[in-house]
Structure 1
Amino acid sequence: MSEKGPVQREMEGLLSAAFPDADFTLSNDSAQHHGHAGDDGSGESHFSLTIEWAGFAGQNRVARQRMVNRALGDLPGQRVHALAIKALAPGE
């Protein structure tokens, strides 16, 4: 899928608002999971996120992932089946 769908655009907006000045890449991996569990046919069910943000400094991996999930609200688990998160502080 080369064009961003509405779910991906919504996720990017929420991440930008919650993590000002963060560098992130949100990849739609749904095509790799076509026909597998959680594939709802929307083409926006599986994502990978790499995010680097100064606010993650001093936070452990679980705390960082919770911050990301909190920022995304009900998207993970509701409209997004799977989200792989790699959250880093600058220099990591």
Structure 2
Amino acid sequence: MTAKARIEATLTRNLEPERLIVIDESHQHAGHQPDFTGAEGTHMRVRIVSSKFAGLSRIDRHRMVNALLKPELDAGLHALAVEAAAPGEPTRW
């Protein structure tokens, strides 16, 4: 299972999102460090709408997602961009 698939499964199981998009942006970072090739699964963007975020601050939403994805971060996920919204809130995506 790819990192993207594991992230999707974890967030779907725990946050029951109305909308979830996980984008692997790893290839965009190739060459940023001498030993970085842009291999899959190191730089991810999560766009998620979930009722679990209702009433939470942006920081608390990020903390929730980061806590759920801690195993991925520990296993080599280098960068995680989170765009989280509650239902009915505007998104730019």
TM range (shorter): 0.7 to 0.9
Match of 2:24 in 1: 28
Which among 71, 76, 79 is matched to residue 79 of structure 1?
A: 76
Q: Does the CA contact (< 8 Å) of 1:54 and 1:90 recur in 2?
A: yes
Residue 40 of structure 2 is aligned to residue 68 of structure 1:
no
Name the CA shift for 1:35/1:15 in 2 (closer, same or farther; >3 Å): same
Shift of 1:16: 0.9
| In 2, Cα distance between equivalents of 1:45 and 1:18 | 22
Which among 10, 15, 18 is matched to residue 11 of structure 2?
A: 15
How many residues matched? 88
Cα RMSD of the aligned pairs, angstroms, is: 1.9
- TM-score normalised over the length of structure 1: 0.83
| In 1, Cα distance between equivalents of 2:67 and 2:58 | 14
Which among 25, 33, 49 is matched to residue 52 of structure 1?
A: 49
Shift of 1:42: 2.9
Name the CA shift for 1:13/1:6 in 2 (closer, same or farther; >3 Å): same
**Partner SS for 2:81:** strand
Unaligned runs of 5+ in 1: none
- TM-score normalised over the length of structure 2: 0.82
Shift of 1:77: 4.8
- Identity over aligned pairs, percent: 33
Unaligned runs of 5+ in 2: none
